Amino acid sequence: MRAVVMGSGSWGTAVAKILVDAGNEVTMWARRPELAEQINTRHENGDYLPGIALPAGLTAVSSVEEALAGRELVVCAVPSQSLRENLTQWREFLPADAVLLSLAKGVEISTGDRMSQVMKEVTGFDDSQIAVLSGPNLAREIAEEQPAATVIACSDEAVAQRIQQAFAASYFRPYTNTDVVGTEIGGAAKNVIALACGMAAGMGFGENTLATLITRGLAETIRLGTALGADITTLAGLAGIGDLVATCSSPLSRNRTFGARLGEGASLEEAQAATNGQVAEGVKSCRSVRNLAREHGVEMPLTEAVYQVCHEGLDVQDMVGMLLGRTTKPEVYGATD
């Protein structure tokens, strides 16, 4: 396919590399002309993936118009909270028959919208032109060509299959799914749970705590996802438990690392400053995911606790007491917890 990756952060760059390695004609859009220049001349993105040799066939431009001209697949690789603004700026240059693919894992704060909803609202495109990609995909590991898999979700299975073919590389195995809601909720919720896992690690807790948070994190993700119409099997798959395990366990995760800094006693401002401008989506999405849960009458105690730490000044030590002091329950995946 003739593809463009709009956004040259760590995941956008790794995805552009996959698409080239899978045999597509690919360009990237970078906001800063100097980054586009670096990709074109040094074949490296030193700001986000230093030391990774990018394919010589991968080009980059900083003009939106040039980036989008004649592209069949438009990959949106910007953070969730800026997607609406970016797409609004890109809209006039989007080819009318292009397929949009979101990489972002978050829920918009101002609306509670998932990324596929934002894409549809801004562009007016048909559902068959809107897809999302989500799975256990830490950018650096994939840029190093370590084997991994992902989910390409689109309500139109034939379109999902077309994108699947475009992403099939020797080290990257895409699966299709028509459950867009489940794929998106899995990706957004796991970032919030990864913050909780980081906090636990930062406080010095071990694997029992981690496993408890991952498992109960999955339970509350399933509760929210199914309330929104997701298929539970999506959340039992790569975009659900798969991504939860990868993100909650890896020191490469920005969300887990952010949480760990809080657990070690850093302030929110200090943890934010330490990200070096890279996005830890869960810090914002804990608010929108919590709001969605409340709207739908779904209990998400871990998400609530992370929200209170990130936005209401709850001390991480007090969070432990708050979670363990809740009334005892049977272990069921029902509407309450």
Ligand X SMILES: NC(=O)c1ccc[n+]([C@@H]2O[C@H](COP(=O)([O-])OP(=O)(O)OC[C@H]3O[C@@H](n4cnc5c(N)ncnc54)[C@H](O)[C@@H]3O)[C@@H](O)[C@H]2O)c1
Ligand Y SMILES: O=P(O)(O)OC[C@H](O)CO
Would you tell me which residues interact with ligand Y (CB under 6 A)?
105, 136-138, 191, 194, 243, 246-247, 253-255, 281
Span from 10-18, 53-61, 152-160, 261-269 in contact with ligand X (CB under 6 A): 10-18
**CB closer to ligand X out of 7 and 217:** 7
| Conformation bin of residue 43: beta by default, left when phi > 0, alpha when psi is -120 to 50 | left
Q: What is the rounded end-to-end Cα distance, in angstroms, of the chain?
A: 45
- Segment 31-35 long-range contacts (CB within 8 Å, at least 24 positions apart): 31/62, 32/62, 33/62, 35/8, 35/60, 35/62
Residue in 17, 190, 284, 329 annotated catalytic: 190
As measured in angstroms, the least distance from the Cβ of 99 to ligand X is 18
Is 20 annotated for ligand binding? Answer: no
Find which of ligand Y, ligand X, none residue 38 binds, CB within 5 to 8 Å per kind.
none
Which of 285, 312, 147, 175 shows the shortest CA–CA distance to 234? 175
Given candidates 3, 5, 11, 287, which one binds ligand X under the rule CB under 6 A?
Answer: 11
As measured in angstroms, the least distance from the Cβ of 88 to ligand Y is 24
Given candidates 73, 78, 148, 271, which one binds ligand X under the rule CB under 6 A?
Answer: 78
**CB closer to ligand Y out of 61 and 279:** 279
- Measure the CA angle with vertex 275, ends 273 and 174; round to 5°: 160
Distance CA 110, CA 126 (A): 23
Residues 262-321 that bind ligand X (CB under 6 A): 278-279, 281
100 in contact with ligand X (CB under 6 A)? no
As measured in angstroms, the least distance from the Cβ of 7 to ligand X is 4
Span from 131-139, 218-226, 233-241, 307-315 in contact with ligand X (CB under 6 A): 131-139
Kindly state the tokens that stand for 335.
Answer: 């509407």
As measured in angstroms, the least distance from the Cβ of 243 to ligand X is 8
Distance CA 191, CA 280 (A): 8
Asked if 244 and 196 touch (Cβ cutoff 8 Å), the reply is: no
**CB closer to ligand Y out of 105 and 284:** 105
Is 48 annotated for ligand binding? Answer: yes
CA of 75: how far to CAs of 78, 87, 101, 103, 217, in Å?
Answer: 9, 11, 5, 7, 29
- Told to judge if 190 belongs to the known catalytic residues of this protein, a careful annotator would answer yes
**CB closer to ligand X out of 153 and 203:** 153
The 3-state DSSP class for residue 207 equals: helix
Distance CA 32, CA 29 (A): 9
CA of 64: how far to CAs of 93, 130, 177, 267, in Å?
Answer: 7, 20, 30, 37
Question: Which residues make up the interface to ligand X (CB under 6 A)?
Answer: 7-12, 31, 48, 77-80, 82, 86, 103-106, 137-139, 278-279, 281
Report, as residue numbers or ranges, the catalytic residues.
Answer: 190
- Show binding-site residues: 10-11, 31-32, 48, 105, 135, 139, 190, 243, 253-255, 279, 281
